[in-house]
Homo-oligomer: A and B are copies of this chain.
């Protein structure tokens, strides 16, 4: 059982089915599965919701519905409400990144909830009063209103990232050691002489430039072998050319 299984996403009176579907997809992308909807609207387009949920249709169908926010969060310890505004009772807010640490700590042993308001009006003060924390998502001062599924995505992404299960792909090939690297540079040196790329007096300066270029990132064994092979081929061509010219 992962901590993320204890994270419940609560949408309060969402308007658009498309947004609800997109929320399901965002949750699914981040291994979060528990969706609750407070006071669903009769006008919501559930076909749109299904369409936008993509591969998260099961999640959408498994949603729980509650008449009030109090019922939707009854079993939760930490309850975080999202709010773009600050002011009255919203004076201490956490960024989604800060909250992820706090929330996951509690989610080790308890259900926690992240609560998102209506697309047009957000959460009311009485609803924020039920929350233990307020999350303020970083956004431009000029334009603080986020799309509902974008807000859920950022919060779920921070929870997922903080849970630490994901690591970006890393280079699997072995890093080249100095011996291989120096054999490669020696071949390039020979190539530059044989192809008459540079004057003898500029050669060492040119080699320093090449060293900087090739060692700026992590040079792997296959990288070094490709570069060495390439230089060897030019050496071979130079040799052929000189032989033909001499004949």
Contacts and interface: CB of A to CB of B under 8 A. Distances in A.
A22 B94 CA distance: 25
A168 B25 contact: no
Interface string A10-24: 000000001000100
A195 interface: no
**By DSSP majority rule, is chain A's interface helix, strand, loop, or mixed?**
loop
A136 B98 contact: no
A152 to B, nearest CB: 9
Interface string A28-39: 111100000000
A202 to B, nearest CB: 28
Nearest to A92: B171
Contacts of A169: 86, 90-93, 136
Copies, count? 2
A140 interface: yes
Contact of A150 (B136, B137, B150): B150
Interface stretch (A70-78, A154-162, A177-185, A207-215): A154-162
Interface residues of A, number: 47
A54 B139 CA distance: 15
Nearest to A26: B150
Nearest to A95: B168
Interface of A: 18, 22, 25-26, 28-31, 52, 54-56, 86, 90-95, 97-98, 136-140, 142-147, 149-150, 153-154, 157, 160-161, 166, 168-173, 218
Smallest CB-CB A-B distances: 9 pairs: A86-B169, A138-B166, A93-B169, A93-B168, A31-B140, A92-B171, A29-B139, A136-B168, A150-B153
